[in-house]
């Protein structure tokens, strides 16, 4: 555990932190999600997949210019080959060297195409390994080397800022959730003085899976932005940088 003579505190007396994140650069995030976020003055984190982002580069550049974070989600989105769609791009067939090239190539795309330098990463499918069996290796150390935060997926707890390993911060799935479901997670974070990172994919109706309903996102933004609830709602990069500064101070003082 990180020890410090300085008690941790969120900025401006906030009781907890909340970040909204969206994976894969799906078009519905632009069409349905951004209008809701912008209406509430909320900055979110988008973990962009280059192939999808290329389809609407001007729109993604505009989102970045408006203050939304553009994060790294690899170039080819490798996951376990147990997913049929990833069998020819399976993490089980990766090496650390190949994964590092993925991370650096995705960083280069975001810098060149979107005009920002990514500082946070989202693990594809929440999986953090390459190889298999006795030769399996974690690529968390690679993420720690190149990013301030590595965000997980389908985790089961909020992040304790005094303890969390920022290279594998927990992410809570918000696809398919009700507002009450998400508010319960926020209340856990507020009770603990923690940080909850929500993870969505598509936004709006008409999607068979992996989507947060527009009315749920609207209610979530309104709730978090209400000063009465004592929440710091900001990007993964902004909150992660605050936590890292405190953790470094705690280690070296």
**CATH number reported for the structural domain that contains residue 121 in this entry:** 3.20.20.370
Residue 157 vs residues 7, 137, 160, 196, 212: alpha-carbon distances, Å: 22, 24, 9, 8, 20
Dump pLDDT digits (tens) for 79-112: 999 999 999 999 999 999 999 999 999 999 999 9
Q: Which residues sit opposite 47 in a β-bridge? A: 23, 71
Per the prediction, the chain carries an average pLDDT of: 96
* Domain enclosing residue 175, as ranges: 11-252
| pTM (predicted TM-score) | 0.96
Does 5 fall in a domain?
A: no
Does 3 fall in a domain?
A: no
Beta-strand pair 137-138/129-130: antiparallel
Does 62 fall in a domain?
A: yes
For residue 149, which of 78, 237, 234 has the smallest C-alpha distance? Answer: 237
Does 165 fall in a domain?
A: yes
Does 145 fall in a domain?
A: yes
Exposed, middle or buried by CB within 10 Å (0-12, 13-18, 19+), for 116? middle
Dump pLDDT digits (tens) for 147-196: 999 999 999 999 999 999 999 999 999 999 999 999 999 999 999 999 99
Residues 35, 196 contacting (CB under 8 angstroms): no
Does 133 fall in a domain?
A: yes
Q: Classify 34 as helix, strand or coil.
A: helix
Number of structural domains found in the chain: 1
């Amino acid at each position: 555990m990180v020890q410090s003579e300085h008690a941790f505190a969120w900025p401006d007396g906030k009781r907890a932190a909340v970040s909204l994140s969206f994976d894969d650069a799906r078009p519905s995030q632009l069409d349905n999600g951004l209008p809701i976020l912008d209406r509430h003055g909320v900055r979110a984190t988008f973990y962009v997949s280059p192939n999808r982002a290329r389809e609407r580069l001007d729109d993604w550049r505009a989102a970045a210019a408006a203050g939304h974070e553009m994060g790294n989600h690899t170039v080819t989105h490798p996951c376990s080959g147990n997913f049929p769609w990833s069998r020819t791009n399976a993490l089980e067939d990766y090496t650390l060297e190949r994964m590092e090239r993925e991370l650096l190539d995705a960083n280069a795309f975001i810098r060149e195409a979107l005009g920002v330098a990514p500082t946070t990463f989202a693990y594809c499918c929440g999986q953090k390994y390459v190889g298999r069996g006795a030769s399996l290796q974690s690529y968390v150390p690679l993420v720690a080397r190149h990013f301030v935060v590595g965000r997980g997926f389908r985790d089961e707890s909020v992040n304790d800022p005094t303890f969390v390993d920022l290279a594998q911060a927990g992410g809570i799935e918000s696809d398919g959730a009700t507002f009450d479901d998400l508010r319960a997670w926020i209340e856990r974070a507020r009770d603990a003085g923690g940080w909850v990172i929500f993870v969505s994919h598509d936004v709006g109706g008409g999607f068979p899976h992996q989507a947060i309903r527009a009315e749920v996102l609207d209610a979530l933004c309104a709730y978090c932005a209400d000063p009465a609830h004592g929440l710091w709602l900001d990007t993964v990069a902004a909150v992660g940088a605050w936590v890292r500064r405190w953790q470094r101070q705690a280690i070296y003082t």
